Structure formats: structure tokens, C-alpha cells
């Protein structure tokens, strides 16, 4: 019987017009984090927005409010995002500021381990959205994220959008910038986000072959598609599960909430004879 962790990416940069359950204000985000944790998610990833405009921002007071409100009611492991643009120091500055106060200290550092085209695709209209969007992370930028995480005493979560990202992570492990156990998130490209590998058994096997002999806690997610059907496969291969309205908004699929997604993922895990890891158990497994 394995302990399987669930991470929920609860809002991202997704819009309420796609799903009214997507949280904007710090109070909404914290309430959603608490409810999703109680439904089974031990780890919560979130973005914050300007409360007046709804624009995606990275203001430390907003992040701090989410941390304080959430931790007053649940023990979930929390980690924020970082912006797409700016210098490495600018993009990571809120992690540094938040880590100064134990009440707002993130439970993870973070690093997106390479560069990727994040265009969306509307298959019905045969239209590409965001053709000019390139999410850039050079080795120098990644090194800054990882070394600063280490200086802050935060084990980083490593986001893997395609195999080259995983190769970069293994290079940093070989150099001693990273240490085992790695915390790795495999992001598969669903129908709406055609990047990297598709969510299939062969894709998972390709990643797992690359990390043979390395101590890794790995999660799998589908961005731009429903990850719930993948849960049995992920768990059967020894992985952990990421769900949430950041990754897929269920705009035309019932407009599910984050707690509902966590409940469904937890039910699938338990149906396989496994246990859903609590926040305390997850903290021990991840060594954070």
C-alpha cells in the first residue's frame, strides 16, 4: 500500500469566464486552498492577482495573505509561481521576501527547467493562440533559481515541460546544485496546449527511463487537458498526481471545482488500494 500525494494547482492565470470556481482574491485563493486540502490535496500551487483589476501579479502582500489565511486552517504545503519575464533575480524576488518570515515561508523553492513555446491550439477552429509566446529560461536563469532556493533552505520543485528540461535537471544534479530526492513534475501537453510529450504510457516510460538510479518523487500532470483519466496509470507506475484548474479549466466539461477534482483523484487512488498522503506524510516523503 503506497502513500500517494496529490498536488492541486488551483488557479494559475485562468479566467473566471471559463470557470467561476477559479479564485482571484487572496481570500478566495486561501478558501479554495483550504477546501482543496481537506478534499485530499496535500500540496497547493497558486498565483495571485490584483484585487481591483484581476491582473496576474506577484505582489508580496497578496502572496503573504494567502499563506497566512491558508495556514490558519490547514497544513497543506504551499508554493507560489513566478513571472514569465524579467531578470532571474526579479522573477525570484518574492520567494526571497516571503522566506524571511516563517508565517509566509514557501514550502518549496522552484525552477522551470528550460524554455518552451506555450501556444494554445483550438482544434475546432484550427487556430493557434499565442504564436509569439516563448517562455524562456536559460541555464543561467535556472541556476539562479536553484542556487537561491538552496540558499533559502528550500528544496525546489522542478517543472519538466519536455525531455530537455529533465536532462537539464540531471546536469544540475550531477554538478551538485541539486540533491536527492528530486521533486519533479512531468507536465504533458494536452489537446489545448501542444507542447512536449502527450499524456500516454510511452511518454511516462520515456521519462522514467531517464531517471533510473535517481531518487525522485515524481508527479504527472496534463496541461490543456483532463488529467483524471491518467491517475490510475500514474499511480501504477509509482507516481504522484497533480490536478487543478490552472492546468485545465473544465469550461466545457462540467466546470468542476478544485475540491471536486481532489476528491475524484483521491477516490481513484483509494480504489487502487493505496492511501492518499496527508500534508505531514507528504512533507516527510519529500524531505522538505
Which CATH number is 183's domain given?
Answer: 3.20.20.70
CA–CA dist 262, 32 (Å, integer): 11
Nearest to 186 by CA among 231, 223, 136, 141: 223
- Residues of the domain holding 112: 3-286
- Going by DSSP bridges, is the β-strand pair 109-112/43-46 parallel, antiparallel, or unpaired? unpaired
Furthest-apart CA pair in the chain: how many Å? 49
And the C-alpha cell for 213?
Answer: 538510479
User: pLDDT tens digits for 1-47?
Assistant: 799 999 999 999 999 999 999 999 999 999 999 999 999 999 999 99
Residue 51 has pLDDT above 90, yes or no: no
Q: 3-state secondary structure string, 46-78?
A: ECEECCCCCCEECCHHHHHHHHHHHHCCCCCEE
Residue 145 has pLDDT above 80, yes or no: yes
pLDDT band at 167 (very low <50, low <70, confident <90, very high): very high
Nearest to 243 by CA among 7, 24, 69: 7
Q: What is the DSSP letter of 278?
A: P
Give the helix/strand (H/E) hosting 159: strand 156-160
Domain count, the chain: 1
pLDDT at 54: 83
CA–CA dist 283, 277 (Å, integer): 9
CA–CA dist 194, 285 (Å, integer): 32
Distance spanning both ends of the chain, measured CA to CA: 23
Residue 213 has pLDDT above 80, yes or no: yes
Calculate the average pLDDT of the chain: 97
- Full-model pTM: 0.97
Percentage above 70 pLDDT, the chain = 100
Amino acid at each position: 500500500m503506497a502513500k500517494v500525494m496529490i498536488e492541486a494547482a488551483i488557479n494559475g492565470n485562468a479566467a473566471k469566464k471559463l470557470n467561476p470556481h477559479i479564485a482571484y482574491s487572496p481570500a478566495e485563493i486561501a478558501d479554495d486552498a483550504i477546501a482543496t486540502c481537506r478534499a485530499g490535496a496535500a500540496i497547493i500551487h497558486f498565483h495571485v492577482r490584483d484585487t481591483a483589476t484581476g491582473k496576474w501579479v506577484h505582489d508580496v502582500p497578496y502572496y503573504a495573505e494567502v499563506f497566512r489565511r491558508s495556514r490558519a486552517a490547514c497544513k497543506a504545503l504551499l508554493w507560489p509561481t513566478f513571472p514569465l519575464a524579467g531578470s532571474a533575480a526579479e522573477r525570484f524576488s518574492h520567494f526571497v521576501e516571503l522566506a524571511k518570515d516563517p508565517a509566509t515561508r514557501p514550502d518549496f523553492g522552484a525552477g522551470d527547467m528550460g524554455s518552451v513555446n506555450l501556444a494554445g491550439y483550438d482544434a475546432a477552429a484550427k487556430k493557434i493562440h499565442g504564436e509569439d509566446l516563448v517562455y524562456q529560461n536559460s541555464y543561467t536563469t535556472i541556476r539562479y533559481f536553484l542556487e537561491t532556493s538552496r540558499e533559502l533552505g528550500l528544496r525546489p520543485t522542478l517543472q519538466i515541460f519536455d525531455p530537455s528540461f529533465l536532462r537539464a535537471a540531471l546536469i544540475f544534479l550531477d554538478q551538485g546544485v541539486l540533491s536527492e530526492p528530486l521533486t519533479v513534475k512531468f507536465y504533458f501537453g494536452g489537446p489545448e496546449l501542444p507542447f512536449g510529450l502527450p499524456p500516454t504510457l510511452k511518454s511516462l516510460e520515456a521519462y522514467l527511463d531517464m531517471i533510473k538510479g535517481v531518487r525522485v518523487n515524481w508527479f504527472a500532470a496534463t496541461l490543456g487537458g483532463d488529467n483524471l483519466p491518467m491517475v490510475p496509470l500514474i499511480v501504477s507506475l509509482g507516481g504522484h498526481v497533480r490536478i487543478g484548474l490552472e492546468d485545465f479549466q473544465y469550461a466545457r466539461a462540467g466546470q468542476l471545482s478544485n475540491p471536486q477534482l481532489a476528491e475524484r483523484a483521491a477516490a481513484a487512488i483509494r480504489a487502487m488500494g493505496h492511501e492518499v498522503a496527508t500534508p505531514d506524510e507528504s512533507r516527510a516523503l519529500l524531505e522538505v
